[in-house]
Chains A and B, each alone.
Chain A
C-alpha cells in the first residue's frame, strides 16, 4: 500500500477547510466587488455601472479621512496597550506569590466578555452623571462635578483602553505560556552570574517569549482593525465623528446612507490595506533566523 506523503496528507486535511471558508466568502466578496463598480438607485430599482467613480469618491471624502486617522490612532494605541499590559501581567503571573491562583482567574475575566458587553460596561463605568469612575472620584473628594471622559479629545483613547482591557488577558496567557517553557537553570545561572533583573529579562526571558509577544501584537492588530462594535456601542462614534473608525463609517455608509456602491468601495480598500498588513506580519513571523 503506497504511503501517503506528508505533503499530500497536509493538503488533504487543510484544503477542504480552505475551500469551506472560501466558498462561504466567495459570494459576499464577489458581490461586494461588483457593488463597488455600480450605483444602485432604490427609487427606480435601477443599477448603473459607474466604473471607478466610487473609488474616486474616496479621495474627496473628508469624513473618511477623519475616520482613517481615528482608526490609525485606535489601532496603534490598542496594540501598544495590549502588548504592554500583557507583558507586565504575564511577568507578574509567572512569579509565585500568595493569591497568585486567584489573580490568574481574575485576570482572564475581562476576556470572557463580548465586545458589546465591554462597551456597555464602559458606558456604566464612564457616565458623567452616575458612572462608577466619577462616583468613586466624587466619593474620595478628588472632583466635585463628574468629568466628561468621552469628549472629542479623549474618546478614542478610552475606546483603546477598554478594547485593550478586553483583549490583553489572552495575550498575557500566551506570553505566560511561553515564559513557562524557560528552563529554570537558565534563570539560576544568570542570577549566579550576577545579572540585574533587566539584563536577565533581555537575555534570558525575552528570547523565549519573543514569538508570543509577536503573536499577541498581530492578534491585537487584526482584532482592532476589524473592530466595529466597541465604537458603535460605547461612544456611537461621537462626539460628532470624533471616535468613528473606518469600520463604523463604512457600516453607516452601507446601512444608513444606503450608498452600497461607495460602501463596497471603501471596504475593498480597507481589505487590501489589511491584507498587506497581514502578509507583512507573516513575513515577520516566519522569517528564518
Chain B
C-alpha cells in the first residue's frame, strides 16, 4: 500500500509539534535532576541524575556526589506556600463555577438582545485592566482591609479575574448546546433554572469540567498578584515563595526542582481533563438562534 505524502507530512508535523511542546520542559526537568557542577557544564541528558534537589527543597540534607548539600533554608515557607495554594485554588474553582455557570447559561441562552453585549462588556472590561495598573492600589487596599496576609484576600483577587473569563467561555458553550431537551422540559412546565439543573447541566459536563480546570489552573499559576500581595506574609502562595529562588546563589537545580514540582500537579490535571476543552464547542453565540 502506497504511503500518501500527505500522511508523511502529517506525521512530520506531529513530531515537530511534540518536540516543540516538550523541549523547554525537558530542559527544566533535567536541570532539576543534576548537580550544579554538571548543570553549568551544559549537558543535554541528565548526567549523574539524582533527586537531591527535590529532597533539599522539601527540607532534607543530602550527601551529593560532590559534597554535602544542605536543605533549602526556605523549605518550610515553600511547603507552606504549596499548602496555601492547594487551599486557594480549589476554592476559587468551586466559587467560580457556582457564580459563572448560571451567568454563562443566562448570557448564552436567553433571548435578551443587546443586553447580552452590554453585560459581557461590563463584566470583561475590568478583566482587561493590566495588573500593573492596579497592583499597588490593591496592595494598599488589602492592607487597610486587613486582607493582605489572609487566604481570603488571595481568593477574592483571583475570583475577580476568573469569574469574568469563565462566564465568557461558558456563554459561548451554552449557546452551542442542542436545545431540544431543554425546550421539551420547558414545555412540560419547568422554570428556566429548573431546566438548567435537570436537563442542561448533565449535558454541559464537558464544558463545566473544562471551565473548572481553567479556573483552577489560573489560580494555581498566578504569579503577579501572589508575588506582590502575599509575599512575606503567612498567606504567601507557592509562586510567591518561588521568587526567592530568583536570586538565590547558584542553586539552579533547586530552582528547577521547585518549578517542576508546581508543574507536575498542574500537568496531571491538565492532561486528565484536556479532552473536555476540546468539547467546549467554541461557536459564535451570535449565530445561534435562540427559540
CB-CB under 8 A from A181, the residues of chain B are 176, 281, 283
Bound CA–CA A246/B76 (angstroms): 36
In the complex, the answer to whether A88 meets B17 with C-beta atoms within 8 Å is: yes
Q: C-beta contact mask, B31-73 vs A, less than 8 Å → 1, else 0?
A: 1000000011111100000000000000000000000000000
Give the CA-CA distance A32 to B239 in the complex, in Å.
26
Contacts of A248 in B (CB 8 A): 132
Q: Which residues of B contact A267 (CB under 8 A)?
A: 130, 132-134
What 7 pairs across the A-B complex have the smallest Cβ distances? A267-B133, A114-B221, A28-B137, A132-B27, A211-B284, A28-B134, A130-B42
Contacts of A129 in B (CB 8 A): 40, 42
Note all chain B residues with C-beta closer than 8 A to A165.
Answer: 20-21, 24
Chain A: minimal CB distance from B162 (Å): 10
Total CB contacts across the A-B interface at under 8 A: 304
Q: Please tell me if the beta carbons of A250 and B25 are within 8 angstroms of each other in the complex.
A: no
Is residue A233 contacting chain B, with contact meaning CB distance below 8 A? Answer: yes
Tell me whether B203 is interfacial, beta carbon within 8 Å: no
Given A97-B11, A116-B242, A267-B130, output 10 extra A-B contacts at Cβ < 8 Å.
A4-B191, A7-B115, A17-B163, A18-B122, A25-B134, A35-B137, A97-B14, A121-B259, A130-B42, A178-B281
Kindly state whether residue B233 has any CB partner on chain A within 8 Å.
no
Q: Is the CB of B267 within 8 A of A109?
A: yes
Q: By the criterion CB–CB under 8 Å, are A130 and B132 in contact?
A: no
B248-260 interface code vs A (CB 8 A; 1 in, 0 out): 0000100110010
Q: Check A282/B117 contact, CB under 8 A, given A6-B192, A121-B24.
A: yes
Given contacts A121-B24, A124-B256, contact A228 B286 (CB under 8 A): no
Whether the Cβ atoms of A170 and B277 lie closer than 8 Å is yes
Expressed in whole angstroms, the minimum distance between the Cβ of B194 and any Cβ of chain A is: 12
* B274 and A173 form a contact (CB under 8 A): yes
Say yes or no: is A205 at the interface (Cβ < 8 Å to chain B).
Answer: no
Chain B 275-291, CB-CB to A under 8 Å as 1, else 0, gives 10111111110110000
State whether A274 and B21 are in contact (beta carbons under 8 Å apart), knowing that A6-B112, A112-B266 are contacts in the complex: no
Point out residues on B near A: beta carbons under 8 Å: 6-7, 10-11, 13-14, 17-18, 20-28, 30-31, 39-44, 99-100, 102-103, 105-107, 110-112, 115-117, 119-138, 140-141, 156-157, 159-160, 163-164, 167, 172, 176, 191-193, 217, 220-224, 239, 242-243, 246, 252, 255-256, 259, 262-263, 266-267, 269-271, 274-275, 277-284, 286-287
Q: Which of A56-64, A98-106, A148-156, A187-195 contacts B (4 or more CB under 8 A)?
A: A98-106
**Contact partners of A228 in chain B: CB under 8 A:** 130-132, 224
B272's nearest neighbour on chain A, judged by CB, is A105
Chain A residues near B17 (CB-CB < 8 A): 88-89, 92, 103, 107
Q: Which of B126, B263, B281 contacts A21 (CB 8 A)?
A: B126
Are B128 and A103 in contact, with the CB atoms below 8 A?
no
**Chain B proximity of A19: nearest CB distance (Å):** 10
Q: Which residues in chain A, 1-29, are within 8 Å of chain B measured between CB atoms?
A: 3-4, 6-7, 9-11, 13-15, 17-18, 20-22, 24-25, 27-29
27 A-B Cβ contacts within 8 A?
A: A7-B110, A10-B106, A14-B167, A21-B123, A21-B126, A22-B122, A92-B17, A110-B25, A113-B263, A116-B242, A125-B27, A130-B42, A131-B27, A133-B27, A174-B277, A180-B278, A211-B282, A215-B172, A225-B130, A226-B132, A247-B130, A250-B132, A255-B136, A270-B133, A274-B128, A279-B121, A286-B117
Residues B103 and A247 in contact, CB atoms below 8 Å apart: no
Q: Is the CB of A134 within 8 A of B42?
A: yes
User: A257 contacts the other chain (Cβ, under 8 Å)?
Assistant: no
Across the two chains, which residue of chain B brings its CB closest to A94? Answer: B278
Select one of A4, A14, A173, A250 contacting B119, CB under 8 A: A14
CB atoms of B41 and A130 under 8 A apart: yes
Residue in A29, A124, A255, A289 whose CB lies within 8 Å of B27: A124
Residues of A close to B44: CB separation below 8 A: 132, 135-136, 139
Known: A21-B163, A109-B271, A174-B282. A31 touches B137 (CB 8 A): yes
> Which of A24, A99, A289 has its CB near the most chain B CB atoms (within 10 A)?
A24
* Residue numbers in A under 8 Å from B10 (CB-CB): 92, 95, 97
Contact A28 B141 (CB under 8 A): yes
Contact A105 to B281, CB < 8 A, known contacts A112-B217, A278-B125:
no
With A17-B123, A104-B274, A132-B23 as contacts: A113 and B110 at CB distance below 8 Å? no
- Distance between Cα atoms of A103 and B22 in the complex (Å): 10
| B49 smallest CB distance to A (angstroms) | 15
